[in-house]
Structure formats: C-alpha cells, structure tokens
Amino acid sequence: MPNQTRNILIVGVGGQGTLLTSRIIAQVVVQMGYDVKVSEIHGMAQRGGSVVSQVRYGEKIYSPIIKKGDADVLLAFEKLEAARWLDYLKPGGKVIINNDRVDPLPVMTGKAKYPQDIDQKIAALVPDTTTVDATAIAIECGNVKAANVVLVGMLSGAMEIPAEEVEKAIATMVPAKALEVNLKAFREGEKLFAAMAG
C-alpha cells in the first residue's frame, strides 16, 4: 500500500453520471483497505451545471476536497470541463478526456464561443493526456449509459488499480441485468488505456 495520498478529480456536466463513477472507484479503494473520502455535488448544480466529484485515498485522509495542483488524475466527462478544472492537476499528473462536447448556456445563446481545439490545448500543456470516445465504446458494448464505466476502466488503468477489484465493486453496484454490459465496458476502457499508455 503506497503511503502517499492519491487524488482523483472527476468533472463533467450535471446528468452525465460522474457520481456513479466516483462511487465505484471509492468502493474499490475501500475494498483495498484504504482510508477514503469522496466529495459530491447534489442539488441545483446537478441541473446541467458544471459538477465535480473528488476521490481521495491513502493511509489517512483529512480533507474531503482536493487542493489546487494536487490531483493525480483529472477525469473529464466533457472537454470544456477538463479545461475548467485543469488547475487542480498536479505537475506530472494525467488527464483523461471523454471526447464529448456539451455546449453551456452562454455558448448555446451565442454569448460566448466554445473554445476551438480545447483538448489539443490541454494536451499541449499536459503531456500525459488521453482522449477517448467513451460514448461510442459504450454503444458498441451494448448500452450508451455504460460510458461512465468505460471511463472507470480508463481511470483504474491510470491509477494502477487491479481489474478484479473493480469488477467486484461493479458487481455490487449495478443491477444484475446490466452487469454484463458494464463489465464489458469496463474491460474495454481498461484495454484502451493500456494500449494508449503502452
């Protein structure tokens, strides 16, 4: 067990399923015997706003929230949100971006522009950036809703968490009839991370 505290910041747009992803990862690290804290956003911000879940684990955790510049991994369900929260990343940290674009209100109404090539700008600043089309993979696996589990696969790859621990957690957290699709989605995500990192 590493002594060092590990910090995962999961960001997205309300309704994208960030909460399930952070809860799966938290369950996994509990199984592994770590102290864990998870901070979530409920209520008004969930209505299509910018949302963030924070997972911290290690030997002993105090703060439930991650300091700026202290996240080992930034997992973004949406490109713009990756950019918004990038300052929380540690130097040398990893960014995983789901290649999804959800226009915020100011962009929809023409008051602001969606920044061009935002994922490439992030990749230029952070060498360890991986972009993935989790939605497409989830559809291939049989259910578009499993996109967040594809991202769990990417994340557990990035955090070097054993796959069997994650599979055990998924089995306790998703309904039986959705288990097969979710496990497939998880394995695809993991495979993809290994291929990209390799």
Partner 1 sequence: MKRLMIGNEAIARGAYEAGATVATAYPGTPSTEIVSSFAEFPGVYAEWSPNEKVALEVGIGASIGGARTLVAMKHVGVNVAADPLYTFAYTGVNGGLVLISADDPGMHSSQNEQDNRGYARFAKLPVLEPADSQEAKDYTRLGFALSERFDTPVMLRVTTRLSHSQTLVETGEREEAGVKEYKKNAVKFVMLPGHARLRHVEVEKRMLALKEFADETELNRIEWGDRSLGVITSGVAYQYVKEAMPDISILKLGFTNPLPERLIRSFAGQVDRLVVVEELEPVIEEQVKAWGIKVEGKDIFTLLGEYSPEMIEERLAGRDTAVGFGLDKEIPGRPPLLCPGCPHRGVFYTLHRMRLTVTGDIGCYTLGALPPLDGMDSCICMGASIGTVMGMEKARGEDFARKSVAVIGDSTFVHSGITGLIDIVYNQGTSTVLILDNDTTAMTGHQDHPATGRTITAQTTSKLDLVALCKAVGIEHVRVVDPLKLDELRQALTEELERREPSVIICKRPCALIVKEPPQQKYYVDAELCKGCKICIRIGCTGMYWLDKEKLAVINPNNCITCGLCPQVCTFDAVKIVEG
Q: Which residues contact partner 1 (rule: CB under 8 A)?
A: 13-15, 23, 26-27, 30, 35-50, 61-65, 67-69, 80-81, 83-87, 89, 91, 102-115, 121-122, 125-126, 144
Instruction: Report, in Å, the least distance between residue 23 CB and partner 1.
Output: 8
Query: Strands, DSSP E only, in 29-151?
Result: 35-39, 50-58, 71-76, 89-98, 129-132
**Between 54 and 182, CB nearer to partner 1:** 54
> Closer CB to partner 1, residue 69 or residue 162?
69
CB of 36 to partner 1, least distance (A): 6
With residue 9 as reference, give the H or E element that holds it: strand 6-13
Least Å from the CB of residue 2 to partner 1: 18
Q: CB nearer to partner 1: give 124 or 194.
A: 124
Q: Is 107 or 181 the residue whose CB approaches partner 1 more closely?
A: 107
Instruction: Say whether 71 sits in a helix, a strand or coil.
Output: strand
CB of 194 to partner 1, least distance (A): 27
Residue closer to partner 1 by CB (options 178, 187) is 178
Question: What is the smallest separation between the CB atom of 190 and partner 1, expressed in angstroms?
Answer: 23
Q: At what angle do helices 163-173 and 147-158 cross, to 10 degrees?
A: 150
- DSSP result, 157-184: HHTT--HHHHHHHHHHHS-HHHHHHHHH
* 117 conformational bin, left if phi > 0, alpha if psi -120 to 50, beta if neither: left
The secondary structure of the chain in percent helix, strand, coil, rounded to multiples of 5, reads 50, 20, 30
